[in-house]
Each structure stands twice: as C-alpha cells, then as structure tokens.
C-alpha cells in the first residue's frame, strides 16, 4: 500500500515537471522522453 502511494506521488510529480519543462522549453524535457520512447520505437 505504502509503495503504491509513493509511485502515485512520483507519477503526479513527473507530470508536473514535464508540463513545466514543456512550457519553459528546457533541454531536460526531450532528454527525459527520448530514453523512454526511443528504444521502443527502434524495436
């Protein structure tokens, strides 16, 4: 139960960070997305 709460908070926090980075257009946003979607698109 406790681990699920941490995971849920992490998801919300990551969404907030992504929204802030997308509005500020910082290089951290694409760098954070590429490693996740990159390998999947190649395979």
Domain residue ranges of the chain, discontinuous segments joined by +: 2-42
Q: What pLDDT does residue 21 have? A: 64
**Cα–Cα distance measured from residue 5 to residue 24, given in angstroms and rounded to the nearest whole number:** 29
Report the predicted TM-score, pTM, of the whole model to 2 decimal places.
0.40
Q: What pLDDT does residue 2 have? A: 75
CA atoms within 13 A on the CB side of 3: 0
CA atoms within 13 A on the CB side of 35: 4
Q: What pLDDT does residue 31 have? A: 55
Q: What pLDDT does residue 17 have? A: 80
Handedness of CA 6, 26, 35, 39 (dihedral sign): positive
Residues of the chain with pLDDT under 70: 1, 21-43
Q: What pLDDT does residue 39 have? A: 52
């Amino acid at each position: 139960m406790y681990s699920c709460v941490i995971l849920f908070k992490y998801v919300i926090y990551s969404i907030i960070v992504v929204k802030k980075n997308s509005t500020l257009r910082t290089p951290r946003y694409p760098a954070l997305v590429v490693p996740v979607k990159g390998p999947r698109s190649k395979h």
